Structure 1
Amino acid sequence: MKRLLLILSVFFTVAVASAQNINPVSWTFTSKKLGDKEYEIQMLATIQQGWHLYSQSQPADAIAQPTSFQFNKNPLLDMSGKVKEVGKMEKFKDKTLDVSANQYSNKVLFVQKVKIKGKAKTNVTGKLEFQTCNDEKCLPPKSVNFSIALK
């Protein structure tokens, strides 16, 4: 009986660990020079088939966590405006739960314009938080740290 409990315990631990390692969204971070001291940082989310990533703005009845960005303070940089989303937003409505969501499938590009003060080379650093769901489940929100060189 102890052996059976041990086997079940190991199986359960492996199943939970592998479920926590599901990562249906991969991120790519780049910068693009727009002009003298002006850059666009690009944060591309590539989303596995069947999964959805949530927009920064959600309807009032949404329960999913919106994607958010936090930029670390850098005295060499000025942020221009807010992070913009480039992609095909889907407006989802679950009639069973009576909730809505603004979401993306396949990919979405998040873009932030920045200006460098002076002639220094620097990085844009920070973290993003996001949640992803498929038709059966939602994963807990995740955080991703990033550092993007301005070249």
Structure 2
Amino acid sequence: MKQLVLLASVFLMATIGQAQQNPVSWAFSAKKVADKQYEVHMTATIQKGWHLYSQVQPEDAVAMPTTFKINNNPLVTLEGAIKEDGKLEKFHDAKLELSANQFSNKVDFVQVVKLKANAKTNVTGVLEFQTCNDQKCLPPKKVNFTIDLN
């Protein structure tokens, strides 16, 4: 019985520790908005107390901005820049003379793409982000993604 309780405690602590080290989860989808045109959504859900950083940071920022590298696909053209759909928070710490453009809770990064021909294909790439709370920042993470365009 003691071994079972110990095993359950270890499992619970590992689960809690893992959740604390992964405060951002990502979802990827595509929405057809016109003939041969899609919105590609890269949506971050952020645990309470954590922040994810905008693609654009002020000059005095030390946080790593969120970046996206979309792989070249001969069937797809990117239309404009990736837009951020979320409540942008402009953080400033006067004592440390640091600022950051950040999001809490949820942010949707949206890239409009256009197909060159009627064909099934996908958008692939990698995103890199950093997340922090009031006590610490986690090392930057990379996430590979594949989003089907149907």
TM-score (norm 2): 0.87
Secondary structure at the residue paired with 1:78?
strand
Structure 1 residue 96: Cα displacement: 2.5
Secondary structure at the residue paired with 1:82?
strand
1:52 maps to 51
Residues 1:99 and 1:71: Cα distance change in structure 2 (over 3 Å) = same
* CA RMSD, 1 decimal: 1.6
Secondary structure at the residue paired with 2:91?
strand
**Ranges in structure 1 where 5+ consecutive residues have no aligned partner:** 1-13
Aligned residues: 136
Structure 1 residue 69: Cα displacement: 0.3
Residues 1:119 and 1:85: Cα distance change in structure 2 (over 3 Å) = same
Q: Distance in 2 between matches of 1:71 and 1:143?
A: 13
**Ranges in structure 2 where 5+ consecutive residues have no aligned partner:** 1-12
1:131 maps to 130
Structure 1 residue 60: Cα displacement: 0.2
Letter in 1 for 2:74: P
**Does residue 111 of structure 2 align to residue 112 of structure 1?**
yes
Secondary structure at the residue paired with 2:143?
strand
Letter in 1 for 2:127: L
Q: Distance in 1 between matches of 2:145 and 2:35?
A: 24
2:142 maps to 143
2:26 maps to 27
2:77 maps to 78
Structure 1 residue 21: Cα displacement: 7.0
1:49-99 deviation per Cα after TM superposition (whole angstroms, max 9, x unaligned): 000000000000000000000001100000000100001000001122110
Q: Distance in 1 between matches of 2:87 and 2:20?
A: 27
Structure 1 residue 19: Cα displacement: 6.9
Structure 1 residue 120: Cα displacement: 1.3
Structure 1 residue 119: Cα displacement: 1.4
TM-score (norm 1): 0.86
1:42 maps to 41
Identify the range of structure 1 (20-29 vs 51-60) with the bigger mean alpha-carbon deviation: 20-29
Q: Distance in 1 between matches of 2:65 and 2:118?
A: 35
Secondary structure at the residue paired with 2:68?
strand
Q: Distance in 2 between matches of 1:19 and 1:147?
A: 24
Residues 1:35 and 1:20: Cα distance change in structure 2 (over 3 Å) = closer
